[in-house]
Chain A
Amino acid sequence: AQTVTQSQPEMSVQEAETVTLSCTYDTSESNYYLFWYKQPPSRQMILVIRQEAYKQQNATENRFSVNFQKAAKSFSLKISDSQLGDTAMYFCAFMKHARGNEKLTFGTGTRLTIIP
């Protein structure tokens, strides 16, 4: 079974600063996907960024980037130039790369507050 651990329950940062959210996972699988989802107060989960385990290059989406360390089973999210709209719960999630097994295993989340 897979587990995902987010060790920072809450974080806050000043607007325009950079913040890094941590995530570690445990799996015996060699091929899988990792995701960061954002859940604002509206409750809708929104995909922020995705990483395929077989890709060595770290994924980047505008102000969001990841530091994927496969050997260490670490998958941190860096938010640059943080904005007020980034305030939300952030969940790290794991999915096996296996047809017919597309379930997400989530971490407990990090509540991020951007301070004006």
Chain B
Amino acid sequence: KAGVTQTPRYLIKTRGQQVTLSCSPISGHRSVSWYQQTPGQGLQFLFEYFSETQRNKGNFPGRFSGRQFSNSRSEMNVSTLELGDSALYLCASSPLTGANTEAFFGQGTRLTVV
């Protein structure tokens, strides 16, 4: 069974640009969550999607947005990039069946804003 796949693995963008990151969950998983990891702030929750609906959102500005498609694949978008958006962005998928809440993580997308 393929794991969670995030593309691209690395990205360099200029301040003011926008970026789209992609996450393909494990087959059958309907929940996809996004996290931002930085040395200063650690791991912070961005948002969670389930069946194409955003159910939870973390404390991030509106420049951060996301969506989920009918096949459960998810994208997150960051507009008007700032230097502080440089981070490792992690995607996690969960089956959420019964008591199974385990989150399976992808290898992340390393975004550098210059």
Contact = CB atoms under 8 A, between A and B. Distances in A.
Contacts of B33: 102-104
B42 A45 contact: no
Interface string B85-108: 000101010101001011111111
Contact of B55 (A37, A100, A104): A100
Contacts of B90: 45
A42 B107 CA distance: 7
A44 B108 contact: yes
A59 to B, nearest CB: 13
B55 A109 contact: no
Interface residues of A, number: 24
A102 B96 contact: yes
Interface in A93-112: 95, 97, 99-109
Interface residues of B, number: 26
B45 A47 contact: no
Nearest to B46: A103
Contacts of B45: 103-105
A103 B58 contact: yes
Nearest to A45: B105
A45 B108 CA distance: 9
Contact of B101 (A91, A102, A105, A109): A102
Contacts of A105: 45
Contacts of A52: 99
Nearest to B53: A100
A106 B101 contact: no
B56 A43 contact: no
21 contacts: A37-B105, A43-B108, A44-B107, A47-B103, A95-B101, A97-B101, A99-B96, A100-B55, A100-B56, A101-B55, A102-B31, A102-B48, A102-B94, A103-B45, A103-B48, A103-B58, A104-B103, A105-B45, A106-B35, A106-B43, A108-B42
